[in-house]
Structure 1
Amino acid sequence: MKNIILVRSAARALLGSGGRNYHHHFSTAAVVKQHGGGAFGNFYWRRMSSLPDIKDEEDSKDKKKEVINNNNNTVISSYWGITRPKIQRDDGSEWPWNCFMPWDSYRADVSIDVTKHHEPKTIGDKFAFKTVKFLRVLSDLYFKERYGCHAMMLETIAAVPGMVGGMLLHLKSLRKFQHTGGWIKALLEEAENERMHLMTMVELVKPSWHERLLVITAQGVFFNGFFVFYLISPKTAHRFVGYLEEEAVISYTEHLNAIESGKVENVPAPAIAIDYWRLPKDATLKDVVTVIRADEAHHRDVNHFASDIHHQGKELKEAPAPIGYH
């Protein structure tokens, strides 16, 4: 008798429609009750019922309705479980930046010697030095005393070598199944730091369309050229970057002199710079240029150091990487 009831219920579930559905659900409920409920009853009800699981559907709809609305741009994040925890500043206010986190911020070491210079000795050193000096002449002719625009252009170039070097070391590590002594992280830190210089300068200088076009062209040429350059001779490539950073220090020193002489207005520092370098709330452009110059001096030392390692016939992994050494 029980088997007959089960067969009838199954047939009605498959064939029933319209008003029969109500009778079907009633019959199945009766069968579940007859079987005493429990685990079998619950399983049978889920298998035989044609009613949607209302709770599951509601939960699914709720998840899809949870969106983040920002300037009319809808970003669905909760569906994938991608959320960022609420982050606060030291004073308890909400952290406003997505491009960097509080643990990426730091106080620049402005006590570093900004006058150091590596005297070129080898043929590779002289080649790197003269190439950088030639590029400096071209940039000076174009930008002249537009220090902000010059700095912006410089940062779009300076952020490339660290990324290229880190990427190639990463690939080498994968090919040879070996560690790199932390140099991947050190070079990527350099690239990110230079990018933050650019993000800061863009807040201060609004580039024109032809300057944006120049950036796109220069980056395309420089990235590919430096990629090949690093493959051929990492030691010369790092020496080149060391001299490039020396010129950056000189450029920012001239920028500081222009601010102090009144040629350039000492405007308030942008909010992103205050949070990134942990500057005081009343910081000015002079403070920003000072910490950026210190960063460039640190990058100068790191790349000359990396080149010296190669000149000794060693690989970078044989020397400790200066992680966190902006």
Structure 2
Amino acid sequence: MTKWFSAPQSIMLARITSLAQATFSAAIAFHLAMNPAFAGDPFRDNNPRAIGDKTEAAFRAVFQKGNYPEAENYLKQALASEPNEPLAYAMRASLAYTNNDVATLATYSTKTLEAGQKLIATDPLRGNLYTAVGTFLEGAVIITREGAGGAAQALGKLRQVYQYLDKAEAISANDPELNLIKGYMDLLLAVNLPFTNPDEAIQRLEKNAAPQYLVDRGIAIAYRDLKNYSQALDYANRAVKATADNPEVYYLKAQILHEQGRQQNSRQLLQDAIANFDIALSKKSQLPADLVKQIQSERSRANDTLKSLG
């Protein structure tokens, strides 16, 4: 069990709502490798799992192309034709959270948990992993619906999450899918809690997680939140190079450039930030409406910052 469970509930409550979206818009937003060795499993070159072609296509639509409507279509097909794959349910729940659809989030959180529990009998590694994911999603439902009143129950769910992750890790500590999810969770918690160190989580991602461009994107987010903008930009550039069609990676790069430009009072960096916001917005029809509004708002702030330099 990780040390941050000793955190005061007031701190954990302040973070868990944002962690719910951050983790499951990222940690279960599994990207396909650019040239996967085995169809259906973007994580493993050895001992691949039959995750399913439609689920794989949904990954590709969201996380290579950044195309949410296309992903929704593939997920409908996946849920019909690949009913035992918990990752499909987890992705559906994550998209519901992104769309502020709490009822659908609740439905597919439960389905993720049930599919994960069922999978334990035949694949205990992934079964425990997705039982953890489903449990986390149920915690997100609680905190979304009840706010502060659900803090204690949500924290109880979070403890259960790490119990299941520990079981999965005991089976295969170096599994790339496990390390991707657990690495993202640990990293997002570490950068949001002042007494924790993100180095271990970064090492977990770099050493054992896959695919690489999701690793790079996660570490870029971590360094952005730690205000280490030079390192963040380096990893963001790697993610852009690997997933050049995805507007969200340009949005991430724009955020980093904006903060770096503000820090250095650099017109060039701010202009570069605005250019990357514009690339992201050029594909706004592919993105959730709330995300488009957020990108537009941040672009406006970057423009204001540029104007303030005269």
Q: TM-score, normalised by structure 2?
A: 0.22
Greater percentage in helix: 2
Q: Which has the larger radius of gyration?
A: 1
Higher relative contact order (CA 8 A, sep 6+): 1
